[in-house]
Structure 1
């Protein structure tokens, strides 16, 4: 069959850097970042986060080909700021946002667990985005529980930083 091995889509081979950086020789304060084994999801997230910054004058991404599993992100910044500085900031901001999202998920999961223990029935309102006409509303309490090592403090203390080893 012509389909590539699924693991080739996301497993980084030995000796390959996850992210590489090439300054643009023709445009001052511009660079191209190549992120291996990623797709439109991360490309669009990074582009959006970069464009929220006043120091970024241009940010765009592309996937060169659907069968090539990398994304290129082009960044141009104002004269006082290096593109790699803004890329690091955007990635760190996204890490913070995903940490916040995880924290909120764990909190809601704990509420659902508490509701199931107390015997309350959870209903999904019809206006909820999860409601689908072919699936009946959920009337049974969920059986999921938060991992024992995860709590508000563990997530709140999450201090990850991107290693920009170019």
Structure 2
């Protein structure tokens, strides 16, 4: 079991299977839902090493998301790690772009 850290909360992550097949895994993210699941699926879906990736939120009253990965080659945990890193990079890029545009807008508005 490992933990993914964010500034607002800590989400617990666990594998749901005890299978020795490293190519096929389902992970459970507590305190996560469609926001992370959809972004992660979108980022990971174009990887040719991944045969399938998808997520479910079992029930709205449960604060957890199941994320399934099936690989053609490589380990599912490595694909998950890369996918999470890519989502973080994408978010960092969007925040930087937004901040730069807001600064530019503010500077141009004050000059009028």
TM score, norm. by length of structure 2: 0.84
Distance 1:111 1:43, change over 3 A: same
1:44 deviation in Å? Answer: 1.0
Distance 1:22 1:65 in 2: 17
Q: What is the CA RMSD across the aligned residues, in angstroms?
A: 2.0
Distance 1:105 1:88 in 2: 26
1:131-150 alignment runs, 5 A limit: none
More helix by share: 2
More strand by share: 2
Aligned to 1:46: 40
* Structure 2 unaligned regions, length at least 5: 1-7
- The answer to which structure, 1 or 2, has the higher relative contact order (CA under 8 A, 6+ apart) is 2
Aligned to 1:99: 92
Q: Rg bigger for which structure?
A: 1
1:24 deviation in Å? Answer: 6.4
Distance 1:93 1:82, change over 3 A: same
TM score, norm. by length of structure 1: 0.58
Aligned to 1:25: 19
1:26 deviation in Å? Answer: 8.7
Paired residues, number: 105
